[in-house]
């Protein structure tokens, strides 16, 4: 498989959650990657929703996608240095399970500093054949 990359800037507003999900599904479909597209779309939805919920309209967010050899890497960049936290599930909170999903589904994930903000990324391997 050849390497492919995409970088898209979106406003940190609620409609960007749906837009990012559709963009990821369409890009991965057009790239014909063997990775689970629905898992990728779910996880990017959670990352973008976190930015919208916790960072707000303090500037754009950037969605990065890269596929190379076996790995699919998707990252969301925002202008806040506050790092996401994997919280315990609570019946008192309707939300707050996004990072649990990232941790459970992604093969690898992490956070790195990026120009005064952060880049939260995850990687998926293709299914075993």
Query: For the purposes of burial, counting CB atoms within 10 Å of the CB of 94, is it exposed (0-12), middle (13-18) or buried (19 or more)?
Result: exposed
**Structure tokens belonging to residue 88:** 């315990």
In a domain? residue 129:
no
Domain interval for residue 92: 4-124
pLDDT surpasses 60 at 28: yes
Specify the CATH number for the domain of residue 50.
3.30.565.10
In a domain, 50, yes or no: yes
> How much is the mean pLDDT over the chain?
90
Band (pLDDT 50/70/90 cuts) for residue 86 is confident
Residue-level pLDDT at 91: 61
- CA 47/CA 116 separation, integer angstroms: 18
User: pLDDT band at 95, cuts 50/70/90?
Assistant: low
Total domains, the chain = 1
Q: Which residues pair with 72 in a beta bridge?
A: 67, 124
Mean of pLDDT values over 6-10: 97
Q: What is the pLDDT of residues 116-126, one digit of tens each?
A: 999 999 999 99
The pTM is what?
Answer: 0.90
* Helix or strand run (H / E) with residue 61: strand 60-68
> pLDDT tens digit string along 52-71?
988 876 678 999 999 987 89
The answer to whether residue 103 is domain-embedded is yes
């Amino acid at each position: 498989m050849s390497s492919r990359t995409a970088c898209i800037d979106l406003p940190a507003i609620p409609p960007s959650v749906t837009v990012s999900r559709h963009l990821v599904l369409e890009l991965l479909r057009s790239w014909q990657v063997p990775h689970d597209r629905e898992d990728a779309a779910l996880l990017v939805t959670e990352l973008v929703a976190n930015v919208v919920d916790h960072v707000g309209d303090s500037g754009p967010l950037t969605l990065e996608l890269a596929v190379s050899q076996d790995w699919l890497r998707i990252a969301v960049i925002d202008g806040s240095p506050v790092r996401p936290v994997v919280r315990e599930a609570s019946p008192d909170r309707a939300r707050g399970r996004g990072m649990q999903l990232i941790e459970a589904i992604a093969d690898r994930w992490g956070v790195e500093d990026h120009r005064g903000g952060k880049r939260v990324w995850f990687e998926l391997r293709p299914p075993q054949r």
